[in-house]
């Protein structure tokens, strides 16, 4: 019987740590499906379609890895695609509590589904999508943290965001409007 696993996550954006785990998972399982969670509540930086495209490009060399999107429960998704395991990465002890809780809850929901934890290479143990987003937004270098195509996409995305912000500011200035901060009514001095 073929061993098939899903690797679910937000991947906003995918990092070198994710890629490291995908590579390890692809060696352990016959088939690995990277499942990008479509969760509109999270207000992601990248659309699900963009994240899927980036992951597809990153995993093009792995014959047994596919990329997909899903919504709803991870356990239901695993069942739908015929996977018997959920792959998750643990970087540090701080990840453990949340991951254990999720794994045990998934086991409660679907007892036949196993969670397999793998550790990425040590050099990625401090890496997270949230930090990558923050560093990129504040102008720091992310080149060693994400594949080059992701770095490029991040730069494009933030460039567009800056252009929109600049255009908004110019429009406000031209129309004589105050900046949003100054729109608030000045507080009356307490007498
Ligand atoms: O990359 P992330 O954000 O750590 O991934 C979290 C993810 C997608 C694995 C988790 O939020 C999840 O499984 N969401 C789907 C909804 C679900 O099954 N919730 C119950 C988890 S016990």
Q: pLDDT digits over 25-62, tens only?
A: 999 999 999 999 998 777 899 999 999 999 999 999 99
Contact between 5 and 31 under an 8 Å Cβ cutoff? The reply is yes
Mutual angle of helices 16-28 and 48-58, in 10-degree steps: 60
Ligand 1 centroid–CA 72 distance in Å is 9
Q: Which residue has the tokens 């937000």?
A: 10
Task: Tell me, in angstroms, the distance from the centre of ligand 1 to residue 129's CA.
Answer: 15
Q: Which residues are CB-neighbours of 45 under 8 A, at least 6 positions away?
A: 12, 13, 133, 157
Hey, CA dihedral for 95, 132, 19, 124, is it positive or negative?
negative
pLDDT in tens, 83-100: 999 999 999 999 999 999
Query: Mean of the pLDDT values across residues 109-117?
Result: 98
> Which protein residue has the closest C-alpha to ligand 1 atom 13?
74
């Amino acid at each position: 019987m073929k061993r098939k696993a899903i690797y679910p996550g937000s991947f906003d954006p995918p990092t070198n740590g994710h890629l490291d785990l995908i590579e390890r998972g692809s060696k352990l399982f016959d088939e690995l499906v990277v499942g990008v969670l479509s969760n509109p509540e999270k207000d992601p930086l990248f659309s699900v379609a963009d994240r899927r495209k980036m992951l597809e490009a990153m995993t093009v060399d792995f014959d047994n890895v596919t990329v997909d999107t899903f919504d709803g429960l991870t356990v239901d998704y695993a069942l739908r695609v015929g996977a018997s395991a959920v792959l998750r990465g643990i970087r540090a002890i701080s990840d453990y509590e949340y991951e254990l809780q999720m794994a045990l809850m998934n086991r409660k929901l679907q007892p036949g589904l196993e969670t397999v934890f793998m550790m990425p290479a040590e050099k990625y143990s401090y890496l997270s999508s949230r930090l990558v987003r923050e560093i990129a937004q504040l102008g720091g270098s992310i080149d060693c943290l994400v594949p080059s195509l992701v770095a490029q996409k991040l730069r494009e995305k933030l460039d567009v965001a800056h252009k929109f912000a600049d255009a908004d500011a110019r429009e406000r200035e031209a129309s004589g409007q105050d900046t949003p901060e100054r729109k608030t009514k000045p507080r009356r001095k307490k007498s």
